[in-house]
Structure 1
Amino acid sequence: MLIKGDASEASSFRSVEIKLSPVVEMVSSLHVLASPDIHPTWKGWSTSILSSMDAVSREEFDFLSNITMQWNLLMDFVCYIERHNIDSAERFIASIETIDRVDFMYGIFSGLLPRQTVKEALEGNLETLDTNSPIFRHYVSVERARWLIEHEKDVRTRISTFLKVYWEQVFSRLWQDIGVRELDCLADERRLLGQIGAESYIRNCHPQIVIEQGAIRFEKQVELSYRRTDIENVVVIISAFIAPDLMVNCVEGCLTIYKGISLPLRSSVEVSEEIALFLKAIGSPMKLRILIELQASPKTTKELAETLRVAPSSISAHLHQMREAELVYPQRVQNAVYYRFLNENYQANLAYLARIFEPEPSER
């Protein structure tokens, strides 16, 4: 999900986007499973999930947790891919094995190694990895990097296979619940951003974030600092799993910050403004036809107009309502804007509706 920030602080940060992603949450939940003691809110859930794994699954989980540094490396990869093309968890998982191998390792290493270096290392020239590079001093050991590069194909296959099972058997059901509640949190974050502005909102994401005149600094165990002039846009991804950790990523001018949120408890279901926007966004045969087309593949306004034989201006009006409801996401590719259907957001809204009309226990 994507929300543009108030342009009034454009001189400070060019844009601030707030996103909600089931793929990010899925990988974040694996990070929690790998270190449950650090995330007490989810400790009971972690114990239940880990104890339900059979011996083979648990061994594979432990292996993948170790090689990905408790899934941190995969979270960086997701951050990198999220900017380009994630429209559903299932498609993302399937794409792990088909994505360009340089892109895969470039994302795994958080964009901290030049593409050419990654390419040459994958071709067998591991000596191109400069052992004095800051990435190897503070982020990942050169030994681990070399191992990942040498076993890149096997690593991709094993990650994809594990995620597919985890999504189908565990996380898709969990997302049916927390996705509904995170929609409410997303609306709250939107309002907060509008009320306090971009700079204050970024500071509010975590107490270890310090914004200075010429830079933004993260007071982690290994302190990170980025010059403002190097940051083209800021993406804040809200997550129910990440707190109390501070996790950030900066690739090609895009600074990503994970913001921990507390899920609201629902003693009774409230009908939010967001569900009304959802119903409005799907409330005609033409809108549904547009979503069906976008589910098949991302398309431009022109392509939709030609396929559906409707004026481009009419398509644009429908897409505007769908963006307000967080059902589509525009992605610029060179000089064209392609719209992607956000399937998991659609499913979360359906779950929200189902909960509203679910009878009380005494009525069943």
Structure 2
Amino acid sequence: MSVSIDIAGLRPERIAVVPSPLAELGMALHALAEPGHHPGLQGWVTSVTSRLDSHLADRMCEADFLWRTTFSDVFLPCAGIPGGSTFPGATLAEDLDLLDKLTDEQFVDAALEFTCPLTYDTKAPDILSDPVVRRRALEVAATRGPQQVRFARRLLDDPPGVRAWLRRFLEDCDAAFFEETWSRLRHQLTADARRKTELLRHKGLAEALTAVSPVVTVDETAGRIVVDKLIQGRTATAGGGLLLVPTSLGLPHLNVLFRYSWQPLLHYPVGSPELASPPSVEQLALRMTALSHPVRMRLCRHLARSEYTTSELAQAHGMTAPEISRHLGVLKKAGLVTTRRRGRYVLHQLDVSVVARLGSDFLEGILR
């Protein structure tokens, strides 16, 4: 599965790498709501929560579904401005001004993504004027609890009021903790944007996207960008541009904005050495499947301790050499077993480092 972005006719000058203070504030709120997704930010989370005003903390709970379970597109309003050429604001205030420029329908549709994603990459009915869609939105919100019902009803009844509430809340978050955080992070993000821009200029889009993440590739024959994720989606630049927005707080999330009629956007975490080459979704599935068989698990017990030939494994497990070879083939295809020749013998051994990363690789894969 993957998200694809059709880039046929995309001119190099229409590709931009630009940090967004509003998107980073959204990621900050997500990390505070779901610290388990971001173990590397534990110190920062503890520092912020320990000095957070109780009233602001309560307000965070009113609409935390905008950033807890999914990263709402309201934090990337630049992509919704018609023309596909608007950049994020240089300051939080400028980004919030872009949020104010979204139509009520755009704002409500993006804000309800957390509870009622009727469609995403195709044109949806107008939720503000279609009573059937409105009723469905409230029914879905009801399954998530009374808090989401209240927020969804407020949103549908008074989009400008909720938008004003959200702006005040984000401005208060800025004053309470984000202004200090952004003053530290923006230099790193600006430097990363500069490096990616230089790669775009001198090496081309494919090289720049590989630097963004190894799971983002360019299929030059088909004229599209492919992002390896556990979701299926598609969009196109279609005469507009492509935005790349770096985040320091986002690891391991790689967000792809492919909302219908919005400018395509990649919101990517600034590189981390230990996660520089995450496995593809297909590789991860192969590894999990390979280890699900009891015989292969028993083989791994031996192969984790030492190197063995096929004959030795067959004798130890009371199986034929061809049977052992078939199981070894599955483990090797999944990248879990290494093989080397010593004279006339072929020795197999478990790649312990790959197995040790399975937990973090699985978490990264499902949170990407």
TMscore range, shorter length: 0.5 to 0.7
- Kindly state the Cα deviation for residue 185 of structure 1 after the two structures are TM-superposed: 2.2
Cα distance, 1:116–1:258 mapped onto 2, change above 3 Å: closer
Match of residue 16 from structure 1? 15
Match of residue 207 from structure 2? 200
In 2, the alpha carbon distance for the partners of 1:210 and 1:85 equals 24
In 2, the alpha carbon distance for the partners of 1:109 and 1:193 equals 35
Q: How does 1:291-330 map to 2 (within 5 A)?
A: none
Q: Secondary structure at the match of 2:253?
A: coil
- Cα deviations by residue, 1:51-109 (Å, 9 ceiling, x for unpaired): 22233221211222125545611334454359277453124446756864224224446
Is residue 180 from structure 1 mapped to residue 179 from structure 2 by the alignment?
no
Could you tell me whether the CA contact under 8 Å between 1:209 and 1:217 is conserved in 2? yes
Could you tell me whether the CA contact under 8 Å between 2:26 and 2:67 is conserved in 1? no
In 1, the alpha carbon distance for the partners of 2:95 and 2:107 equals 12
| Corresponding residue pairs, total | 245
Equivalent of 1:257, from 262, 266, 271? 266
Is residue 104 from structure 1 mapped to residue 107 from structure 2 by the alignment?
yes
State TM-score, norm by structure 1. 0.55
Q: How does 1:72-221 map to 2 (within 5 A)?
A: 72-73=71-72, 74-77=74-77, 79-80=79-80, 83=86, 86=89, 88-93=91-96, 100-108=103-111, 112=120, 117-118=125-126, 121-123=127-129, 125-128=130-133, 147=153, 148-150=155-157, 152-212=159-219, 213-214=221-222, 215-221=224-230
Q: Secondary structure at the match of 1:173?
A: helix
- Cα deviations by residue, 1:250-287 (Å, 9 ceiling, x for unpaired): 24262100121159xxxxxxxxxxxxxxxxxxxxxxxx
Match of residue 314 from structure 1? none
- Kindly state the Cα deviation for residue 176 of structure 1 after the two structures are TM-superposed: 1.8
Cα distance, 1:41–1:113 mapped onto 2, change above 3 Å: same
Could you tell me whether the CA contact under 8 Å between 1:235 and 1:254 is conserved in 2? yes
- Cα deviations by residue, 1:108-163 (Å, 9 ceiling, x for unpaired): 46793878833xx324x33146979xxx9xxx99x979644346345323322211
Q: Secondary structure at the match of 1:45?
A: helix
Query: Of the two, which has the highest radius of gyration?
Result: 2
Equivalent of 2:250, from 214, 219, 242? 242
Could you tell me whether the CA contact under 8 Å between 1:217 and 1:224 is conserved in 2? no
Q: How does 1:343-358 map to 2 (within 5 A)?
A: none
In 1, the alpha carbon distance for the partners of 2:101 and 2:237 equals 34
Q: Secondary structure at the match of 2:258?
A: strand
Could you tell me whether the CA contact under 8 Å between 1:32 and 1:39 is conserved in 2? yes
Match of residue 232 from structure 2? 223
5+ long unaligned stretches in structure 2: 1-6, 114-118, 273-368
In 2, the alpha carbon distance for the partners of 1:222 and 1:115 equals 18
1:165 counterpart letter in structure 2: D
Q: Secondary structure at the match of 1:159?
A: helix
In 2, the alpha carbon distance for the partners of 1:129 and 1:207 equals 40
- Kindly state the Cα deviation for residue 10 of structure 1 after the two structures are TM-superposed: 8.0
Cα distance, 1:70–1:49 mapped onto 2, change above 3 Å: farther
Give the structure, 1 or 2, with the largest relative contact order (CA under 8 Å, sep 6 or more).
Answer: 2
In 1, the alpha carbon distance for the partners of 2:111 and 2:76 equals 6
Could you tell me whether the CA contact under 8 Å between 2:77 and 2:95 is conserved in 1? no
- Kindly state the Cα deviation for residue 206 of structure 1 after the two structures are TM-superposed: 2.3
- Cα deviations by residue, 1:153-174 (Å, 9 ceiling, x for unpaired): 4532332221111112211122
Larger mean Cα displacement after TM superposition, 248-257 or 64-73: 64-73
CA RMSD of aligned residues (A): 4.0
2:175 counterpart letter in structure 1: E
In 2, the alpha carbon distance for the partners of 1:245 and 1:190 equals 21
